[in-house]
Amino acid sequence: MEYNIIDARGRSCPEPVIMTKQILENYNGEIVKVLVDTMVAVENIKRYAGNQGFLVEVEEAEDEYALKIRK
């Protein structure tokens, strides 16, 4: 499966949301995978993507999170 991957680990909000927004504005049907390392970023990205009509799945591994975003 094809992914657009955004590695926003180590970045503080709102940067992960801005990075996600730039990819979603040009959404082409591929799953967007966003890697973050704070729960604040997870919540902010989930809220933004959800408001834009996207579905968001969150996977947690140790101290990192992978958000899979799709329509």
Catalytic residues: 13
**How far apart (Å, rounded) are the C-alpha atoms in residues 29 and 60?**
24
Q: Which residue in the block uniquely carries the two structure tokens 């180590």?
A: 10
**How far apart (Å, rounded) are the C-alpha atoms in residues 56 and 33?**
10
Q: Which residue in the block uniquely carries the two structure tokens 């408001």?
A: 51
